[in-house]
Amino acid sequence: MWFDPEADYLEVQFREASGFMRPTAKDALMERVDGEGHVLGFSVLGVSRFRKDHPLEAELVVGE
């Protein structure tokens, strides 16, 4: 997990592998996937705007 407070950016990796970022249905959320579509992690831009009473909820799609 990596957080950059100046950029307000959070990145979480489940495992280290080659991959690319893919957009999701949520503007703030990108998922990192490998060439076969396996989810390797995700990132959130503007993470501080999400509060306990209004959290970011999303599903990561596997193998599309």
Q: What is the pLDDT of residues 12-54, one digit of tens each?
A: 999 999 999 999 999 999 999 999 989 999 999 999 998 888 8
Q: What is the pLDDT of residue 6?
A: 95
- CA-to-CA distance for 20 and 37, rounded, in angstroms? 10
pLDDT at 64 exceeding the cut of 60: no
Residue 32 CB partners (closer than 8 Å, separation 6+)? 13, 19, 20, 21, 22, 39, 40, 41, 42, 43
Neighbours of 45 (CB within 10 A): 14
